[in-house]
Structure 1
Amino acid sequence: MPRPFGNPESPASGAVLVDKPGGITSFGVVKKVRWGLRVKKVGHAGTLDPMATGLLIVLVGRDATRQQDRFMGLPKVYTGTIRLGQTTASFDAETPVEESVDASGVTPEALEAVREQFVGDLTQVPPIYSAIKKDGERLYKKARRGETVDVPPRHVSVYDLAWTDVRASGAEDGLGIVDVDFRVESSKGFYVRSLANDVGAALGVGGHLTALRRESIGPFQVSEALPLAAFERDA
């Protein structure tokens, strides 16, 4: 179950690798693990949005949760899909499409040029629909009230970015849609949703994230993770 470290007299202390399913928050995963292991002190090391799937490191026990920063600072690898031609307020598919543009003219050369812009040390503006706090309140709460918030940029790094597939995905209202699959390796604090929005903006057609999976965090792989169902138990 947990990978033990810290106090050897605390066998329930360690890092649990969970393959998070879609449709549940990271806190929801923590609650299920807490209930399944019957341990009070449980946290996680890096939020995944409800839509996203993949590796979530759950820290079990006081010795483990004290090492949260150690895990948070590790590089992460994600795969997913950017839909070009449509923008949303949340930068993903959790909110309605606000604007549509014909993306059928996006060329491989344009995609490669844009890819090169997003590798290296970058300044990125996080999405307003995020758990970042401003004035003591989560940004997504302000966004849901329709407030306009100035989100400060942050410095992040992209170590590698590759387009793994590009395909036309039909049309809506006569406007062509293009889906771009990707693999990205990034630093702490990087928002893949912002990448999707920024890539679409750089191409002049808009874009948002339609799928996201976290493949790894440092040396920890999703292939090593347990399904969330492993922690379900009767009362």
Structure 2
Amino acid sequence: MRQKPIHPAMQPFLDGKVILLNKSLEWTSFDAVKKIRILTGVSKVGHAGTLDPLATGLLIICTGAFTKKINEYMAQEKEYTGSITLGATTPTYDLESVPENFKDIAAITEQAILDATHSFKGEIYQIPPIHSAIKQNGKPVYLAARRGEDIKLEPRKITINEFEITEIALPKVYFRVVCSTGTYIRTLANDFGKALGVGGHLSALCRTKIGDFSVKDAYSIESFAEEINNLKTQS
């Protein structure tokens, strides 16, 4: 992508910057990258780790020369908060598809929920969701999944350093997870419901940290747009 002339105040973004963005609900990670390109006029922009459209929270966006650091940021430990709804599964493991396979959760106790976290801590093997952007034969597997094709993905080793239940308000269970890169939280939600024998799916997700970066320090897209406008008008 050829770089067009930009506003002089945007030169630092062309040289290279790290932008912490609090991604809005229903935005894709690409939507956020595209918006940054439009606001700054810089063509070389990328993100360090996809967030699904129904997830919110910290998205690290790199511009200019800092795009070389993307893999470094992606490899860092991540923290998430969110909720798992017990008693039903979904094909996508989250609310991008309709809940099904409903089961009674009346017998599920608070202690059973707390105990179920133990088997998901430490180094574990996790099978990624078939409705994901992982590629097989050069194409994202979610395309084949949507066509109803039979897909088999190999388990991947991940590390979950912390899996804390922060609140129980059945059918929802609220959590905080600290994990390695490559961890699918919606797979964790599905597997957690399976371990309890009633099924479950991810009903909310927010990425709160990537390494030392925190969502508390992130711009909303609106506040970033205002910052850019101020920089352009002041110069």
Same fold (TM over 0.5): yes
Q: What is the identity percentage for the equivalent residue pairs of Structure 1 and Structure 2?
A: 44
Partner of residue 200 from structure 2, selected from 202, 207, 210 = 207
Give 1 or 2: higher helix fraction.
2
Q: 1:195 aligns with which of 188, 196, 219?
A: 188
Q: CA RMSD, aligned part only?
A: 1.3
Partner residue of 1:40? 43
Give the Cα–Cα distance (whole angstroms) in 2 for the partners of residues 230 and 199 of structure 1.
37
| Structure 1 counterpart of 2:232 | none
Indicate whether 1:130 and 2:132 are aligned: yes
Residue 179 in 1 paired to residue 172 in 2? Answer: yes
Deviation of 1:98 after TM superposition, in Å, equals 2.3
Structure-2 residue corresponding to 1:68: 70
SS in 1 for 2:117: helix
Q: The residue matched to 1:50 in structure 2 has which SS?
A: coil
CA deviation digits over 1:121-177, x for unaligned, max 9? Answer: 010001111111111111111111111100111110001010011113xxxxxxxxx
Amino acid at match of 1:94: E
What amino acid is the match of 1:81?
Answer: S
- TM-score, normalization by structure 2: 0.89
1:87 aligned to 2:89? yes
Unaligned runs of 5+ in 2: 1-10, 230-235
* TM superposition score normalised by structure 1: 0.89
CA distance in 2: counterparts of 1:31 and 1:144, whole angstroms: 26
Q: How many residues align?
A: 215
Match of 1:121 among 103, 117, 123: 123
Provide the rounded CA distance (Å) in 2 between the counterparts of 1:87 and 1:193: 11
Query: What secondary structure, in the 3-state scheme, does the structure 2 residue paired with 1:98 have?
Result: coil
Instruction: Determine if the alignment matches structure 1 residue 223 to structure 2 residue 225.
Output: no
Alpha-carbon distance in structure 2 between the residues aligned to 1:139 and 1:227: 31
Say if 1:182 and 1:194 are closer, same or farther in 2 by CA, change over 3 A: same
Q: Which has the higher strand share?
A: 1
CA contact (8 A) 1:37 1:231 kept: no
- Is 1:145 aligned with 2:147? yes
What residue ranges of structure 1 are gaps of 5+ in the alignment? 1-9, 169-177
The structure 2 residue matched to 1:25, chosen from 23, 28, 41, is 28
